[in-house]
Amino acid sequence: MELFKSNHLKIYNSLSKTKELFKPVIEGKVGMYVCGPTVYSNVHLGNVRTFISFDMFFRYLKHLGYKVRYVRNITDAGHLENDADAGEDRIAKKARLEEIEPMEVVQRYTVDFHETLAKINNLPPSIEPTATGHIVEQIEIIKDILAKGLAYEINGSVYFDVLKYNDTEHYGILSGRNIEDSIHNTRELDGQSEKKNPQDFALWKKADERHIMRWPSPWSDGFPGWHLECSAMRTKYLGETFDIHGGGMDLKFPHHECEIAQSKINNGVNPVNYWMHANMLILNGQKMAKSTGNYILPNEIFSGDNKILSKPFSPSATRFFMLQANYRSILDFTSTGLEASEKGYIKLMEAVSSLANIEPTKTSSIDIKAWKQKCYDAMNDDFNTPVLIANLFEAVKYVNLLIEKKATISTEDLLEFKTTISAFVFDVLGLRNELQEDSSDKLTGVIDMLIGMRKNARDNKDWALSDKIRDELAALGIQLKDGKEGTTFSVN
C-alpha cells in the first residue's frame, strides 16, 4: 500500500491561512508549480532556501508514493526591473551592460543556477519550461482575456483591468491587500501613465526601438508581462486547476495575485488548491543587500571566500542548516549558526555509519515503531523538518546506546530502524554522507597507490611482492583485475 494512504499530510495554505488536509485533484498524483529564477545574475541565497524547501516537499511527496509532476520555470524574458511594469527588462539590461547577447546572459545564469542547486543536492524538476518558449500560449491567453472584456489595449500594450475584475472577484484574496493598497508603489515612469488605473498590470508590452527581445503579436512587436508566463505554463503542463503552487514569500504580491486574476478569467476556475510560500532568509540579522556588503553568494559559502564566514561550509552542512528551520519562519544566516549545524550534521552522519556495527538481539528495549511514527507525524504536519531533525537526533542517542550495549534491538526492528533513518536523512532531507564520500575517495587513492607498487614489482619481476599485494587486498575483499587498459579493482 502506498504510504500516502496511511499518512494524513497537512499543508499550510497561504490562501486560507490554515493547515488543511492535503487531497490532490487526482488520487495518487500531485501537480506542483514553483516560480523559478529570473536568470540575470547568480542565484540569490534567499532563492536557494526557497528551492531547497520545495525540493524537500517534492522529495517527501515522492516518498509517500505520489507520482509528482514538478514544474519550475526559467524566466528568460519579460521581468522588468520594477514589478510595476516599468524600467528595463532585467536580462536585456545586463546584456547591454556586459555587451553580450541577452541569451548569453540567460545561458550563463541558468548554468550557474543548475550547478548551485546540484551541489546542494536538489533534484531537477520534472519539467523546466522557459517564458520565451511559450510566447504563443501567452498571446492566446491575452486574446481570451481581451475577448472577455477584462483587459484593454493602449498604444500596442495590453493591460489587465484590475478594478473591473474586482467588481465581481476579489483582487487581493491571497496577499490580503485592499484594492486601494494594491497600487504599485513606484515612481511614475514612461508607459505607466497609459494605464487606466495604477492597479492594472501589463499582459503585453510594446517594445521600444532599443528593446532587443521582442515578438510579433496582434497588438505590437513586444513581449509578455512577467505574471503571464506562469499562468500559461502551469495551465499547459498541470491543467486549469492543480494542487500546489508556490515560491518565495515576496512573490505573493503582485506576482501570484496577478496570476490568480488572469487564470480566473481565462479558465473560469480557481487555478490552485494549495498556495505555499517559503519565508525569507536574512544575513546576520539584516536584509541581504549587495549595496551594504551584507551579501553572500552560495558558492562563497562552499569556498569560505567571504569575510562574513569563519571558514568554508560544505553543501550538505549548509542544506542541513536551512532545513533545521521551519520553511515558514524567517531564517537568520550566520557563521555561528552554520558551525552549530555542521557539528549536528557530522554527529548524524557518524551515527548513520555506526548503524552497520549494531548487532541485533532477540528483543528490543527501544520502541522503534513509536519513534518512526513521530518522524512521519513531523513531516505530515506541514513538512516540519526541525521536529523531524529533533527525532533524528533521538535516533542518534539510540545508536550510541546500542553500540555501548546499553540497549537492545531485534533483527526486524534494526532493519526498520536502518531503512527509516536512511529514508528520512537521504531521500527526504536530501543530505549526502560527505564523510563517507570523503573516505571512499581516500580509499581509492590508497588502492591506486598499491596498484602502482604492484606494477613496479612486476616490472622488476618481483613476483613474491606482486602476489602479496594482490592476495592481501583480496583478503580485505578488494579484487584486482588485470586487463589491457591496466589494473582495475572492485570492492566486495
Q: Which residues bind Zn ion (CB under 5 A)?
A: 35, 230
- 251 grid coordinates: 512573490
Nearer to Zn ion, 35 or 202 (CB): 35
Q: What are phi and psi of 475, to 5 degrees?
A: -65, -25
**What gap in Å lies between CA 483 and CA 487, rounded to an integer?**
6
Q: Which residues of 39-58 are buried (b: 16+ CB within 10 A; e: fewer)?
A: bbbbbbbbbbbbbbbbbbbb
36 vs 191 by CB, closer to Zn ion? 36
Closest contact distance (angstroms) between CB of 256 and Zn ion is 7
- In sign, the C-alpha dihedral spanning 5, 8, 12, 16 is positive
Give the shortest CB-384-to-Zn ion separation in angstroms: 26
Residue nearer to Zn ion on the CB measure, 102 or 225: 225
Q: What is the DSSP letter of 148?
A: T
- Residue 128 C-beta: closest distance to Zn ion, Å: 13
Nearer to Zn ion, 119 or 245 (CB): 245
Residue the block writes with cell 526486524: 412
Nearer Cβ to Zn ion (229/382): 229
Give whichever of 79 and 94 is closer to Zn ion, judged by the CB atom: 79
Smallest distance, Zn ion to C-beta of residue 170, A: 20
What gap in Å lies between CA 393 and CA 295, rounded to an integer?
Answer: 32
Name the minimum Å distance from CB 138 to Zn ion. 13
Long-range contact set of residues 433-436: C-beta below 8 Å, sequence gap at least 24: 433/316, 433/349, 433/352, 433/353, 434/314, 434/316, 434/317, 434/349, 435/346, 435/349, 435/350, 435/353, 436/349, 436/353
Nearer to Zn ion, 35 or 84 (CB): 35
CB of 113 to Zn ion, least distance (A): 15
C-alpha angle with apex 146: 142 to 148, nearest 5 degrees? 120
DSSP secondary structure code for residue 284 in this structure: T
Q: Please state whether 468 falls in left (phi above 0), alpha (psi between -120 and 50) or beta.
A: alpha
> Residue 49 or 255: which CB sits closer to Zn ion?
255
Q: How far apart are CA 149 and CA 56, in angstroms?
A: 41
- Pick from 9, 65, 35: nearest CA to 427: 65
Nearest CA-CA partner of 19 in 384, 275, 328, 382: 382
Cα-atom radius of gyration of the chain, to the nearest Å? 27
The C-alpha cell at 38 is: 529570473
What minimum distance in Å lies between the beta carbon of 230 and Zn ion? Answer: 3
Least distance in angstroms from the C-beta of 255 to Zn ion: 5
Closer to Zn ion by Cβ: residue 117 or 366: 117
Least CB distance to Zn ion at residue 85 (A): 15
